[in-house]
């Protein structure tokens, strides 16, 4: 009886343990459709891969490349390929389907006209959808693959970019991607103009150097006071302002700080802003560097006075003999010219809040990459393209200041690369270009990001694009 009682006790304990491990307490396997119901339809709607194969497309010279962003799919097919009727294979989440421009693709594949901007809609088993804009272009995938992630990361509508080979003084690759007009889905192309912001300063410097070359002004001529170039407008100034020369303004060593160019409290006209500058505290000219936009506003005024022409008109005059087209940026999105990218603000109400007539010589030039590189190769001293500056004038322009890594309108001495460079940054604009030792590169954007990493990343990107061109021997 004692053994029987012991057996019953063990059996009871075993049943209790078994009950504690009952299946009713096991976790239910999750599915994208419904975590609590494994039989519910899936909500997965991802594009996990896209393949565009030369073996399936007689009109391609190689396999295509894609980059998937938040709501855009960027595609590059190799040079000399056709974008018309390209077989594209999508790999989707299980049980998802895809339509492109309203047409359901059989087996998630189809012949697409990639010359158009397409809309792809992925539908999950449960009916949930994800929509993508498909933007395809012919290009060099190794270069485009650097641009796509950058503009996606920083929410940039469009980019135009080009690489020049200095030994032949020619662009060896150019392209553009994204939207010049977001609302109408107007695609940016490489012949679209972008506002340069502070990359305008190189054009102002070149204009000043032509006047110096013509003997109409001197680099060390005084600007203000009774003997200055602008004596008629600003005859009476303080003792330090009376020492400011053209060179000081070009290399940002005039001694002024607290740049009032974009300050509404400094007045609305250029003359009012210059007077505000002249009334401000000032270091001894030539002794310190302080990046100063209004100094280039003053240089613009000098150009107009000495040449007798409006700033933009004078640029057109000096560039026309070497076939360069240049404009001032439009004052609003609605006033833009054909093939001019609209500027888009981030974290601000407008990208057109400043008067172009005031800041034009500091940041108002608009140009496309073809003409931008024509400018570069018209002042590089190379043997192939005609130059608008002679050797002596060119040497003056590229001579570094004694107090900073800044020449006359050009930065130099960067730790990442050799040569001269400059960036531009206004609400709705970010630009950067490098005049390197073997190759040169430029990236123009129709927006800028307020993120701290943006400016450095743009510099690194431009340098990497230039390095990749050398690696590819473009």
Handedness of CA 35, 39, 43, 45 (dihedral sign): positive
Report whether pLDDT(163) > 70: yes
Report whether pLDDT(409) > 80: yes
Q: What pLDDT does residue 39 have?
A: 74
Q: What pLDDT does residue 37 have?
A: 64
Give the C-alpha separation, 134 to 49, whole Å: 14
Sheet holding 194-195, edge to edge: 194-195, 365-367, 327-328
Q: What pLDDT does residue 19 have?
A: 41
Q: What pLDDT does residue 177 have?
A: 98
Which of these, 245, 247, 219, 274, lies nearest to 409 by C-alpha position?
A: 247
Helix (H) / strand (E) element for 202: namely helix 200-213
Report whether pLDDT(244) > 90: yes
- On whether the CB atoms of residues 87 and 77 are closer than 8 A, the answer is no
Average pLDDT over residues 423-429: 98
CA dihedral 304, 351, 371, 389 (to 10 degrees): 30
The position carrying tokens 């302080």 is 290
Model confidence at 455, pLDDT cuts 50, 70, 90, reads very high
Give the C-alpha separation, 254 to 237, whole Å: 14
Q: Which CATH architecture has domain 194-472?
A: 3-Layer(aba) Sandwich (3.40)
- On whether the CB atoms of residues 344 and 427 are closer than 8 A, the answer is no
Query: What's the length of the chain?
Result: 474
Q: What pLDDT does residue 31 have?
A: 44
Residue-range domain boundaries for the chain: 41-138, 194-472
Sheet holding 439-445, edge to edge: 186-187, 170-181, 158-165, 439-445, 429-435, 420-426, 411-412
Average pLDDT over residues 289-297: 98
* pLDDT tens-place string over residues 365-377: 999 999 999 999 9
Q: What pLDDT does residue 24 have?
A: 38
* pLDDT tens-place string over residues 108-157: 999 999 999 999 999 999 999 999 999 999 999 999 999 999 999 999 99
Helix (H) / strand (E) element for 249: namely helix 246-250
Give the C-alpha separation, 79 to 363, whole Å: 35
What is the share, in percent, of the chain residues with pLDDT greater than 70?
92
**Residue 195, Cβ neighbours under 10 Å: how many?**
31
Where are any strands of DSSP class E within 258-398? 327-328, 365-367
3-state secondary structure of 371: helix
- Pairing between strand 429-435 and 129-138? unpaired
Q: What pLDDT does residue 18 have?
A: 36
Secondary structure of 256-276 in HEC code, one letter for each residue: ECCCCCCCHHHCCCHHHHHHH
Report whether pLDDT(32) > 90: no
Model confidence at 9, pLDDT cuts 50, 70, 90, reads very low
Model confidence at 22, pLDDT cuts 50, 70, 90, reads very low
Angle between helices 200-213 and 293-307 (to 10 degrees): 40
Sheet holding 86-92, edge to edge: 47-51, 86-92, 109-112
Helix (H) / strand (E) element for 434: namely strand 429-435
CATH of domain 41-138: 2.60.40.2340
- On whether the CB atoms of residues 256 and 277 are closer than 8 A, the answer is yes
* pLDDT tens-place string over residues 250-289: 999 999 999 999 999 999 999 999 999 999 999 999 999 9
Sheet holding 129-138, edge to edge: 65-68, 72-77, 129-138, 118-123, 97-100, 103-104
Q: What pLDDT does residue 40 have?
A: 86
Give the C-alpha separation, 201 to 433, whole Å: 12
Report whether pLDDT(398) > 70: yes
Provide the greatest CA pair distance for the chain.
Answer: 127
Q: 132 has which bridge partners? A: 120
* pLDDT tens-place string over residues 63-100: 999 999 999 999 999 999 999 999 999 999 999 999 99
Give the C-alpha separation, 121 to 45, whole Å: 9
Q: What pLDDT does residue 30 have?
A: 39
Per-chain mean pLDDT for the chain? 93
Q: What pLDDT does residue 233 have?
A: 96
Give the C-alpha separation, 209 to 221, whole Å: 13
Report whether pLDDT(34) > 90: no
- On whether the CB atoms of residues 335 and 201 are closer than 8 A, the answer is no
């Amino acid at each position: 009886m004692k053994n029987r009682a012991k057996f019953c006790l063990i059996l009871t304990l075993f049943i209790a343990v078994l009950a504690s491990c009952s299946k009713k307490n096991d976790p239910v396997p999750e599915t994208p459709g419904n975590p609590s119901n494994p039989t519910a339809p899936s909500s997965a709607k991802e594009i996990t891969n896209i393949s565009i194969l030369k073996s399936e497309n007689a009109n391609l010279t190689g396999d295509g490349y894609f980059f998937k962003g938040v709501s855009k799919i960027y595609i590059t097919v190799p040079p000399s390929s056709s974008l018309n009727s390209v077989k594209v294979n999508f790999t989707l989440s299980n049980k998802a389907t895809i339509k492109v421009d309203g047409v359901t693709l059989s087996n998630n594949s189809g012949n697409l006209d990639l010359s158009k901007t397409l809309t792809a809609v992925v539908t999950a088993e449960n009916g949930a959808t994800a929509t993508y804009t498909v933007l395809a272009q012919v290009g060099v995938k190794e270069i485009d693959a650097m641009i796509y992630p950058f503009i996606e990361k920083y929410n940039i509508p469009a980019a135009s970019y080009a690489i020049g080979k200095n030994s032949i003084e020619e662009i060896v690759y150019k392209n553009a991607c994204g939207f010049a007009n977001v609302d109408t889905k107007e695609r940016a192309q490489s012949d679209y103009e972008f506002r340069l912001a502070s990359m305008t300063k190189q054009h102002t410097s070149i204009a000043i150097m032509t006047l110096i070359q013509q003997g109409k002004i001197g680099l060390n001529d005084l600007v203000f006071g009774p003997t200055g170039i602008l004596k008629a407008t600003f005859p009476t100034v303080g003792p330090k302002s009376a020492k400011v020369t053209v060179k000081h303004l070009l290399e940002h060593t005039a001694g002024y700080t607290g740049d009032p160019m974009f300050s509404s409290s400094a007045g609305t006209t250029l003359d009012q802003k210059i007077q505000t500058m002249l009334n401000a505290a000032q270091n001894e000219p030539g002794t310190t560097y302080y990046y100063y936009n209004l100094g280039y506003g003053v240089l613009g005024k000098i150009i107009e006075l000495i040449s007798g022409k409006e700033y933009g008109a004078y640029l057109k005059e000096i560039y026309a003999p070497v076939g360069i087209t240049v404009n001032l940026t439009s004052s609003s999105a609605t006033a833009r010219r054909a093939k001019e990218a609209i500027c888009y603000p981030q974290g601000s109400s407008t990208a057109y809040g400043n008067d172009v007539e005031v800041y034009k010589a500091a940041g108002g030039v608009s140009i496309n990459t073809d003409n931008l590189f024509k400018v570069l190769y018209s002042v590089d001293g190379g043997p192939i393209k005609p130059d608008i500056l002679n050797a002596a004038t060119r040497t003056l322009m590229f001579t570094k200041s004694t107090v900073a890594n800044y020449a006359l309108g050009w930065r130099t001495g960067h730790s990442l690369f050799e040569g001269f460079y400059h960036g531009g940054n206004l609400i709705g604009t970010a630009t950067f270009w490098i005049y390197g030792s073997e190759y040169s590169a430029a990236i123009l954007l129709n927006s800028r990001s307020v993120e701290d990493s943006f400016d450095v990343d743009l510099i690194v990107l431009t340098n990497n694009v230039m390095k990749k061109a050398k690696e590819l021997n473009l």
